Amino acid sequence: MVRDPTSFLPQGLSFRFVDRVLELVPGERVVALKNVTANDPHLQDHFPGHPLMPGVLLVESMAQTAGLLLPEGSSAFLAQIKEARFRAPVIPGDQLRIEAVRRGGLSDLHRFEVAALVNGTPAAEAEIVLAVVRANAGDRP
């Protein structure tokens, strides 16, 4: 039985912003989906009457998607966000298609080009750097 790739994300279900993986070339490229619904807790008060997915959570969804390209069992911190652009609002009913491509790295740092699209139209894009946490790195997660 093949395990769902999203189960490898270290985030708990309440803070997971990837619903499904459509394509995965391990270590190279991943395409994932996030369904944005009116029931998402973060949309209840952002903004009342005009719900909008916060940009910081768009970045988190892109970082989580990129994290699927790390070696199995890895945990990582968001180390850098470069050239982030927010092109269009993301609202309930939208389905984010998040595409991440690994662009290299150095030691425990991994660089990704990531885009979030709604109906083929860019909603957000960024270069994201994730820092892999080594085992025995102390008490901090």
Task: Report domain extents, the chain.
Answer: 5-132
Q: Which CATH superfamily groups domain 5-132?
A: Hotdog Thioesterase (3.10.129.10)
Mapped onto helix, strand or coil, the DSSP state of residue 8 is helix
Tokens of 138: 């102390």
Q: pLDDT digits over 65-104, tens only? A: 999 999 888 889 999 999 999 999 999 999 999 999 999 9
Tokens of 55: 């940009």
Q: What is the mean pLDDT of residues 92-120?
A: 96
What residues are labeled active site? 46
pTM over 0.85: yes
Tokens of 139: 């008490």
**Which segments within 4-135 are labelled E, that is strand?**
20-25, 29-35, 76-86, 95-106, 109-118, 121-132
pLDDT of residue 27: 94
